[in-house]
Amino acid sequence: MRPRLKRLRGELEPWRLYGRLLERQADACGAYLLAERRVRVSRPVPNTRLTFGDSVYLYRDVGLFLDREGASIHIGDGTGINRRTEIISEVGVTIGAYCMLGWDVLVTDTDYHHIDHAPERAPVTIGDYVWIAARAAVMKGVTIGDGAIVAAGALVTKDVPPRTLVAGVPARAIRSDVTWG
Catalytic residues: 113
- Percentage helix, strand, coil for the chain under 3-state DSSP, each rounded to 5: 10, 35, 55
